[in-house]
């Protein structure tokens, strides 16, 4: 597939210079119609290995009783409670932690940490659990067989298995019974130049506790912040190199 990319590019350049309505004969009996305009050209670029998307979550800004990020994710992707708390999927949840000795604690949202060394990617027998060039860890549910080994391997409990038939999915969030799912970092939004739903919702709620950006870009806000204030990652000791950073936890 990658082998024919140069040809593809040349072809695309040629075709893009063609005028408004053109008909091209590609193969006998195959006529293609072009109607001009190339609005979607930007989104057609593949994810780049030069960037690594990540989040910085400031637990001090994460307010008690607020679930804006979780609600936004749930309604955007269509994962709701089916009344079975043990088996219902949760792509993101808010964890409240307290030190039993001192009583001090924090609460913060936890979702897929989009590890560079993701255990879920390593253990998946079919390669359905994979990492995109830009570091987003996803499940290719076209080839997920539902073995749940990734759920055994994930140190963050970030994955859910779909235990029941699903209906009325969102067009941008396919999900179905018998496969494993989790936070996608809103990959389709990122591909269109946007930010994840949770980040947006937290900002709208006035907390701005979640910062999204490119961890490989020294001039990005997220890199500047983690370079200035000490941050940590959950279970950094495991060496998974997560892309989600936390401060004040």
Partner 1 sequence: MAKIAYQKLTDHSSFFWGLLGFHLLVIAAGLGAALYMEHHGHVVTGMSNQIVWGAPHVFAVFLIVAASGALNVASFSSVFNKLAYKPYARLSGVLAIALLMGGLAILVLDLGRPDRLIVAMTIYNFRSIFAWNIYLYVGFIAVVGLYLYVMMDRRVSRSETPTRIVGGFAFFWRFALTTGTGSIFGFLIARDAYSSAIMAVLFIAASFLYGLAFTVLVLLTMSRETRHELISEDMLGKFRGLFILFALAVLYITAVFHLTKLYAPDYREVETFLLRDGGIYTLAFWVGQIGIGLLLPLAILVFRGSGRHAWHAVAIAAPLFLIGGVAQMYFTIIGGQAYPLRLFPGMQVSSSFHDGVIAQYWPSLPEVLLGVSGVSLAMLLTGVALKVLPFLPRPASV
Partner 2 sequence: MIRGARIALLLALLIASQITLAVGEESKLVPHPPKGRGEQCVAATDFMRRNHMNLMKHQRDETVREGVRGKAFSLTGCVDCHAVNGADAKPVSYADSRHFCRSCHDYAAVSIDCFQCHASRPGSEKPHAAQGVGSTALAAVAAYFQGAANDRK
Binding interface with partner 2 (CB under 8 A): 1, 3-4, 7-8, 11-12, 15-16, 18, 22, 24, 26-27, 29-47, 130, 132-134, 136, 138, 140-142, 166-172, 174-177, 179, 187-188, 190-192
Question: What is the SS3 assignment for the chain?
Answer: CHHHHHHHHHHHHHHHCCCCCEEEEEECCEEEEECCCCHHHHHHCCCCCCCCEEEEEECCCCCCCCCHHHHHHHHHHCCCCCCCCCCCCCCCEEEEEECCCCCCEEEEEECCCCCCCCHHHHHCCCCCEEECCCCCEEECCCCCCCCCHHHHHCCCCCEEECCCCCCCCECCECCCCCCEEECCCCHHHHHCCCCCHHHHHHHHCCCCCEEEEECCCCCCHHHHHHHHCCCECCCHHHCCCCCEEEECC
User: By C-beta, is 117 or 188 nearer to partner 2?
Assistant: 188
Among partner 2, partner 1, none, residue 148 binds (CB under 5-8 Å by kind): partner 1
Out of 10, 46, 178, 194, the only residue in the binding site for partner 1 (CB under 8 A) is 178
Residue count, binding to partner 1 (CB under 8 A): 54
Considering the complex, what minimum distance in angstroms separates the CB of residue 39 from partner 1?
35
Q: Are 229 and 247 in contact (CB under 8 A)?
A: yes
Out of 13, 28, 85, 218, the only residue in the binding site for partner 1 (CB under 8 A) is 85
Closest by CA to 52, choosing from 109, 115, 118, 2, is 115
CA 45 vs. chain centroid, Å, equals 17
User: By C-beta, is 34 or 59 nearer to partner 1?
Assistant: 59
**Structure token digits, residue 27:** 């193969």
Site string for partner 1, 88-127 (x = CB under 8 A): xxx--xxxxxxxx----x----x--------x-xxxxxxx
Among partner 2, partner 1, none, residue 191 binds (CB under 5-8 Å by kind): partner 2
Asked whether position 177 contacts partner 1 by CB under 8 A, the answer is yes
Asked whether position 223 contacts partner 1 by CB under 8 A, the answer is no
Residue ranges in 138-157 that form contacts with partner 1 under rule CB under 8 A: 143-149, 151-157
Among partner 2, partner 1, none, residue 63 binds (CB under 5-8 Å by kind): none
Considering the complex, what minimum distance in angstroms separates the CB of residue 100 from partner 1?
5
> Residues interacting with partner 1, by CB under 8 A?
82, 84-90, 93-100, 105, 110, 119, 121-127, 143-149, 151-157, 160-165, 177-180, 234-235, 238, 249
């Amino acid at each position: 597939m990658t082998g024919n990319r140069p040809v593809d590019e040349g072809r695309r350049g040629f075709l893009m210079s063609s005028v408004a309505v053109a008909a091209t004969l590609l193969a006998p009996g195959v006529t293609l119609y072009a109607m001009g305009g190339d609005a979607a050209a930007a989104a057609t670029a593949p994810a780049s290995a030069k960037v690594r998307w990540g989040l910085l979550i400031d637990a001090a800004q994460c307010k008690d009783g607020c679930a804006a990020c979780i609600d936004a994710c749930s309604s955007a992707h269509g994962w709701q409670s089916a009344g079975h708390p043990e088996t219902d999927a949760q792509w993101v949840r808010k964890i409240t932690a307290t030190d039993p000795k001192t009583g001090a604690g924090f609460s913060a949202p936890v979702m897929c940490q989009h590890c560079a060394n993701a255990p879920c990617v390593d253990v998946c027998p079919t390669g359905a659990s994979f990492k995109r060039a830009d570091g987003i860890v996803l499940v290719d549910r076209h080839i997920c067989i539902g073995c749940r080994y990734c759920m055994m391997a994930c140190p963050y409990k970030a994955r859910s298995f779909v235990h029941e038939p699903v209906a009325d999915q969102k067009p941008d969030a396919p999900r179905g019974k018998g496969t494993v799912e989790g936070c996608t970092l809103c990959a389709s939004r990122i591909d269109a130049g946007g930010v994840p739903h949770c980040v947006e919702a937290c900002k709208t709620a006035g907390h701005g506790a979640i910062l999204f950006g490119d961890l490989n870009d020294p001039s990005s806000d997220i890199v500047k912040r983690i370079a200035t204030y000490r941050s940590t990652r959950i279970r950094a000791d495991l060496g998974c190199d997560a892309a989600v950073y936390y401060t004040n936890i």
